[in-house]
């Protein structure tokens, strides 16, 4: 089908304004939250209602046209990039359909911004727990696609643990309900399979999420250290103590300094080698006891000071530095690679030392800012992609860090997804048979692999299932 | 007993290691080659649950047991699927940790069966169900491939989620051989309270609302009816059990919160393990009825009324999940079950145990939608793994 004919068909559904075809219009959609990749969509279409979204998907199905679903485009794995295929933007589907405080749930359209949902339920004492750092912009649909996490997932769990059911449109246009909003789901956990499928299984039309009661009391602390190693060991000690902090975040010296020199300055001590941002929540009596225990562990582990936020304003300020750290890194260089590996928590100190060695050997600056309590690392490297020598050193460092994390028993991604960025690493952790099984699962939802083509699992893995398994009896 | 005989036959199968394939792959490939459907079992506790499995051969994974990896500081454990819950309990307790998964039955059950059936108990209130605690899984598909999903770390979104797919799939997509689980620290100061519940639907709902909205973080909240209460050594009256845990200050404060609601008394923590094992090893009929949590009192009331005078039925419920579990005595008739279901309309019913003759009448297939059929075909193309256990896939 010609470009023009397709565009005209889509314009009939969504209106002329919401189909973009000119390169100058599409330019803004040629990257996502990870600035290192650029892919130009063939065209972009933005349905304004559920009905329009259904019609768009069905039209694309009729003509066998591949597409990439996209929420706010804040993803950090290149997962929402459309390489000469249709980009299907869902951010206009932003209705909060219902809030049900009695049953602690809400039904939202995929384009609802994470923070908007939280603002809507806050007045009734509730919250939606997953809180990615991009919460002010990212959408629930995107969160479902990526199985998004966030600092408070240490205690409260990731998107998977907070989504009850999903109505989705499959790539062939069929509308299905995954999970049961009103009781158990006997049978296969199709909801669980869909969450984190990175847009490869279809498009969510509405999502029923679980809401959580706000904790009665919160204590937020900032502990600062003169050594990265001490901060890493204190992290392990807090986890081992049996306290489950609501969040336990780590920022190293380079991160602290870039945050403090930006508009997001949070009052972190600029000469520290590392800080831990630690939050405990629960009832007032209990959190005060936990706060005291955490403070003792920090001091015993070498913390110079442990500052406790005295009010909401102080707490917000401490968090702002953490949540905006990626943005602050924009001050250092035009591009940023963002890593998302996960390691067993006891390996933290060793891995941080290894990362430091890798950075030194490749002459790059690593800014570590991550969810230490989960062992979910984010070693980020600001750089200039237009300098080929520097770009080469950065990518070599990233590969070496990834391998070190995998060798430590870890995973290549904890919350950002595989997307395009980590597809080259997935064979480090999964066998050909495992990847082929994943392909088979995808093909049940999308036999022609038209939804977000070329992401998550390498195409060659999908061929291997058809071959005879190694050693198979005949 | 057929279970024992099946077990030993399974055990022989497991020892047939001759190639670089793992023994479970050997077993599955042989079954696939000869077209022999197999019934997958842990320690055969479910064999007599009446589920309509079209297989004559039983493969027990009881001997496929043992700890693969346990680093307490990581709060994760990797075990082979035939490992018993008790072994995991004993090992982790020694480190001040636990797997907060307390499915009905004794701890002699295997972790593989627990995960495969997606079983859960009162601790799901705070810790989630099996699907929320499994981090990684290795399984053998119906065409003999050893496949892994997830990993050994606590947070992981790499690849499509085979872990959730296999958890609760009752062995129909693969034979689980290994699982990695998230552990927690054992809460300091566990304490159990019992709160009296005045009679009547509205009173129950009000009571539940005030408990669940209280500024507290109980580890479990469970309603037990009078006959169940008696069976676990508590006064014979309907009551709500609350498990608290945490630092001493937190537990004391929470105890105060619930005491202020009135009618609260302390109860031995043993009540929870007695609740887990209250039923006979093979009660004839056990089912779970679930609905929106706000309908809990209505459903509880309806179930109760329909069973009144039935003699020996026991009910308990996890109100935050909207799940009611009914343990019905031997001699329960077809009509009684029918009455129970019509007294709890528009709810989801999951049978755990049912005489085989009643399965077809009461338990429709739960895997007969297009996606489920496609998934079954993709992972078990010859339909040899527990065929029919979730109902037919046409």
pLDDT digits (tens, 9 = 90+) for B291-300: 999 999 999 9
Q: Give the pLDDT band (50/70/90) at residue B3.
A: very low
- Residue B14: pLDDT above 80? no
CA distance A453 to A464: 18
Q: Which helix (H) or strand (E) holds A293?
A: helix A284-300
Out of A195, A216, A430, the one facing B159 most closely (by C-beta) is A430
A124: which chain B residues are within 8 Å (Cβ-Cβ)?
none
B35-60 pLDDT per residue, tens: 999 999 998 877 777 888 888 899 99
Yes or no, beta carbons of A411 and B215 under 8 Å apart:
no
Nearest CB among B141, B160, B185 relative to A242 is that of: B185
The rounded percent of chain B whose pLDDT value lies above 70 is: 94
pLDDT at B70: 97
B positions 82-141 inside 8 Å of A (CB): 96, 118, 128, 131-132, 141
By CB neighbour count within 10 A (0-12 exposed, 13-18 middle, 19+ buried), where does B199 fall?
A: exposed
DSSP one-letter code for A447: T
Among B78, B159, B297, the strongest candidate for a mutation testing the A interface, having the largest count of A CBs within 10 A, is B159
Residues of chain B in contact with residue A102, where contact means CB-CB under 8 angstroms, are 293-294
Q: What is d(CA A370, CA A231) in angstroms, rounded to the nearest whole number? A: 12
User: Hey, are the CB atoms on B348 and A180 less than 8 Å from each other?
Assistant: yes
* Residues A175, A54: Cα–Cα separation, whole Å: 8
Which H or E element spans position B371? helix B370-379
Task: Specify the pLDDT at position B309.
Answer: 67
CA distances to A190, B40, B389 from B169, in Å:
11, 12, 9
**Strand boundaries in B175-275, DSSP class E:** 175-182, 184-185, 191-196, 220-224, 239-244, 264-267
CA dihedral sign of residues A266, A284, B221, B291:
negative
CB distance B291–A146 less than 8 Å? no
- Inter-chain CB proximity B161 and A200 less than 8 Å: no
Report pLDDT for A465: 54
* Spatial contact of A128 and A162, defined as CB atoms under 8 Å apart: yes
DSSP, collapsed to helix, strand or coil, labels residue B47 as: coil
In chain B, residues 33-72 whose CB comes closer than 8 Å to chain A: 33, 71-72
Nearest to B121 by CA among B274, B282, B264: B274
Distance from CA of A324 to the nearest CA of B (A): 22
Distance CA B387, CA B54 (A): 6
Which residue in A216, A441, A469 has the most chain B C-beta atoms within 10 A of its own C-beta, making it the best mutation to test that interface?
A: A441
Tens digit of pLDDT per residue, chain A (474 long)? Answer: 888 999 999 999 999 999 999 999 999 999 999 888 899 999 999 999 999 999 999 999 999 999 999 999 999 999 999 999 999 999 999 999 999 999 999 999 999 999 999 999 999 999 999 999 999 999 999 999 999 999 999 999 999 999 999 999 999 999 999 999 999 999 999 999 999 999 999 999 999 999 999 999 999 999 999 999 999 999 999 998 889 999 999 999 999 999 999 999 999 999 999 999 999 999 999 999 999 999 999 999 999 999 999 999 999 999 999 989 988 998 899 889 999 999 999 999 999 999 999 999 999 999 999 999 999 999 999 999 899 999 999 999 999 999 999 999 999 999 999 999 999 999 999 999 999 999 999 999 999 999 999 999 998 888 755 544 444 433
SS3 A473: coil
Q: Which two tokens stand for residue B349?
A: 């019913």
Q: What is the torsion angle, in degrees rounded to the nearest 10, for the CA atoms of residue B148, residue B150, residue B152 and residue B158?
A: 120
All residues of chain B having their beta carbon less than 8 Å from the beta carbon of residue A240 are 72-73
Chain A contact probe: residue of B157, B260, B317 with most A CBs at under 10 A: B157
Residue from the list B153, B187, B370 with its beta carbon closest to the beta carbon of A375: B153
At B357, the pLDDT band (50, 70, 90 cuts) reads confident
Contact A371, A430 (CB under 8 A): no
Q: Could you give the C-alpha distances from A474 to A466, A468, B28, in angstroms and in order? A: 15, 10, 13
Per the CB < 8 A criterion, the answer to whether B80 and B64 are in contact is: yes
Select from B118, B144, B157 the Cβ nearest to the Cβ of A469: B144
What is the count of residue pairs from A and B with beta carbons less than 8 Å apart? 258
Cβ B73–A174 below 8 Å, yes or no?
no
| Shortest Cα distance, chain A CAs vs residue B235, angstroms | 30
Please list the alpha-helical segments (H only) found in A337-427.
Answer: 348-361, 388-407
The pairing of strands B38-41 and B57-60 is parallel
pLDDT score for B10: 36
Could you give the CA distance from residue A447 to residue A435 in angstroms, rounded to a whole number?
16
pLDDT in tens, B223-254: 999 999 999 999 999 999 999 999 999 999 99
Tokens of B219: 């580890």
Determine phi and psi for B273, rounding to 5 degrees: -70, -30
> Could you give the CA distance from residue A85 to residue A67 in angstroms, rounded to a whole number?
6
Read off the pTM.
0.95
Selected residues 1-40 of chain B with any CB under 8 Å from a CB in chain A: 19-21, 25, 29-30, 33
Partner residue opposite B247 with nearest CB, options A180, A289, A438: A289
Whether the predicted pLDDT of B273 surpasses 90: yes
Coil vs helix vs strand at A451: strand
Kindly determine whether residue B148 and residue A189, on different chains, have CB atoms separated by under 8 Å: no
Q: How many CB atoms lie within 10 A of CB A310?
A: 9
Closest CB to B157 among A290, A413, A474: A413
CA distance B253 to B357: 52
The answer, for B144 touching chain A at a CB cutoff of 8 Å, is yes
Query: What residues of chain A lie within 8 A of the CB of B221, using their CB?
Result: none
How is residue B230 written in tokens?
Answer: 């008696």
Q: Is the ipTM of this complex over 0.90?
A: yes
CA atoms of A457 and B331, how far apart (whole Å): 54
Q: Closest partner residue to B159 among A153, A242, A456, by Cβ?
A: A456
Q: What residue in B sits closest to A193 (Cα-Cα)?
A: B161
Residues of B in contact with A191 (CB under 8 A): 164
In which element (H, E) is residue A164 found? strand A163-169
Interface mutation target, options B68, B126, B129, B155, chain A, most CBs of A under 10 Å: B155
Q: Which among A104, A180, A444 is the nearest to B371, CB-wise? A: A444
Contact at 8 Å (CB) between B97 and B269?
no
Distance between CA B303 and CA B327 in Å, rounded?
11
Residue B394: per-residue pLDDT: 59
Q: Name chain A contacts of B72, Cβ cutoff 8 Å.
A: 240
Closest CA relative to residue B381, chosen from B135, B33, B104: B33
B218: left (phi over 0), alpha (psi -120 to 50) or beta: beta
Q: What dihedral do alpha carbons B108, B114, B117, B121 form, nearest 10°?
A: 90
Q: Calculate mean pLDDT across residues B144-152.
A: 96
DSSP-derived 3-state class of residue A378: coil
What tens digit of pLDDT does each residue of B308-355 get?
866 789 999 999 999 999 999 988 999 999 999 999 999 999 999 998
B72-124 residue pLDDT tens: 999 999 999 999 999 999 999 999 999 999 999 999 999 999 999 999 999 99
Contacts of A216 in chain B (CB under 8 A): 215
């Amino acid at each position: 089908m010609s470009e023009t004919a397709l565009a005209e068909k889509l314009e009939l559904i969504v209106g002329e304004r919401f189909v973009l075809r000119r390169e100058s219009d599409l330019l803004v959609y040629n990257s996502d939250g990870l600035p290192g990749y650029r892919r130009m969509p063939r065209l972009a279409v933005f349905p304004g209602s559920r009905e329009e979204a259904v019609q768009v998907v069905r039209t694309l199905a009729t003509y066998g046209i591949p597409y990439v679903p996209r929420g706010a485009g804040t993803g950090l794995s290149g997962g929402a990039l459309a390489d000469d295929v249709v980009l299907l933007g869902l951010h206009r589907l932003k209705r909060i359909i219902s809030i049900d405080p009695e049953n602690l749930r809400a039904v939202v359209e995929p384009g609802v911004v994470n923070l908007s949902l939280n603002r809507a339920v806050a007045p009734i004492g509730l919250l939606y727990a997953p809180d990615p750092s991009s919460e002010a912009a990212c959408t629930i649909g995107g969160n479902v696609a990526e199985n998004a996490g966030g600092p408070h997932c240490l205690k409260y769990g990731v998107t998977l643990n907070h989504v009850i059911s999903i109505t989705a449109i499959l790539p062939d246009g069929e509308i299905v309900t995954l999970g049961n909003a009103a009781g158990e789901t006997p049978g296969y956990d199709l909801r669980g399979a869909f969450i984190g499928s990175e847009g490869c299984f279809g498009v969510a039309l509405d999502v029923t999420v679980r809401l959580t009661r706000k904790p009665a009391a919160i204590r937020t602390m900032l502990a600062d250290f003169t050594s990265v190693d001490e901060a890493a060991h204190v992290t392990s000690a807090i986890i081992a103590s049996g306290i489950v902090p609501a969040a336990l975040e780590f920022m190293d010296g380079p991160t602290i300094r870039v945050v403090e020199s930006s508009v997001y300055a949070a009052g972190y001590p600029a000469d520290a080698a590392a800080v831990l941002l630690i939050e405990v929540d629960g009832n007032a009596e209990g959190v005060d006891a936990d706060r005291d225990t955490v403070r003792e562990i920090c001091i015993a582990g070498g913390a110079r000071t442990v500052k406790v936020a005295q009010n909401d304003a102080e707490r917000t300020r401490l968090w702002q530095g953490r949540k905006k750290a990626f943005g602050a890194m924009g001050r250092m260089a035009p591009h940023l690679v963002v890593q998302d590996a996960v390691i067993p928590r006891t390996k933290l100190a060793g891995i941080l030392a290894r990362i430091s060695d890798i950075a030194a050997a490749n002459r790059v600056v690593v800014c570590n800012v991550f969810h230490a309590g989960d062992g979910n690392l984010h070693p980020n490297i600001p750089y200039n992609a237009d300098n080929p020598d520097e770009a080469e050193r950065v990518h070599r460092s990233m590969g070496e860090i990834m391998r070190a994390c995998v060798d430590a028993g870890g995973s290549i991604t904890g919350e950002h997804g595989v997307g395009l960025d980590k597809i080259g690493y997935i064979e480090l952790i999964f066998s050909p048979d495992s990847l082929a099984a994943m392909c088979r699962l995808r093909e049940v939802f999308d036999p022609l692999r038209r939804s977000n083509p070329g992401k998550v699992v390498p195409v060659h893995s999908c061929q291997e299932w058809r071959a005879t398994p190694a050693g198979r009896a005949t | 007993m057929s279970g024992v005989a099946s077990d030993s036959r399974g055990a022989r199968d497991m020892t047939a290691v001759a190639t670089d394939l793992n023994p479970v792959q050997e077993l599955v490939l042989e079954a696939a080659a000869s077209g022999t459907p197999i019934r997958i079992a842990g320690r055969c506790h479910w064999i007599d649950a009446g589920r309509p499995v079209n297989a004559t051969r039983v493969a027990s994974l009881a001997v496929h047991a043992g700890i693969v990896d346990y680093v307490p500081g990581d709060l994760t454990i990797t075990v082979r699927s035939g490992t018993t819950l008790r072994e995991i309990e004993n090992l982790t307790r020694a480190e001040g940790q636990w797997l907060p998964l307390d499915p009905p039955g004794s701890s002699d059950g295997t972790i593989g069966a627990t995960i495969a059936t997606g079983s859960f108990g009162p601790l799901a209130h705070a810790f989630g169900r099996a699907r929320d605690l499994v981090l990684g899984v290795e399984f053998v598909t119906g065409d003999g491939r050893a496949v892994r999903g997830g990993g050994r770390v606590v947070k992981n979104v790499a690849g499509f989620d085979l872990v959730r797919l296999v958890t609760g799939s009752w062995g129909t997509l693969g034979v689980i051989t290994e699982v990695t689980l998230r552990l927690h620290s054992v809460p300091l100061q566990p304490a159990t309270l019992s709160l009296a519940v005045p009679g009547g639907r509205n009173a129950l709902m009000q009571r539940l609302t005030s408990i669940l909205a209280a500024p507290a973080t109980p580890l479990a909240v469970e309603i037990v009816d009078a006959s169940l209460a008696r069976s676990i050594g508590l006064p014979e009256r309907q009551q709500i059990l609350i498990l608290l845990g945490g630092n001493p200050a937190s537990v004391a404060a929470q105890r105060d919160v619930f005491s202020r609601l009135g009618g609260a008394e302390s109860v031995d923590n043993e009540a929870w393990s007695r609740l887990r094992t209250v039923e006979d090893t093979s009660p004839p009929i056990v089912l779970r009825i679930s609905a929106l949590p706000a309908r809990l009192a209505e459903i509880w009331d309806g179930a109760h009324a329909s069973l009144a005078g039935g003699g020996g039925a026991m009910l308990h419920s996890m109100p935050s999940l909207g799940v009611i579990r009914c343990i019905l005595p031997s001699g329960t008739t077809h009509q009684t079950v029918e009455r129970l279901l019509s007294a709890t309309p528009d709810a989801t019913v999951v049978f755990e145990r049912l005489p085989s003759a009643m399965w077809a009448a009461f338990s429709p297939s739960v895997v007969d939608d297009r996606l489920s059929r496609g998934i079954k075909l993709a992972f078990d193309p010859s339909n040899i793994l527990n065929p029919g256990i979730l109902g037919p896939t046409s």
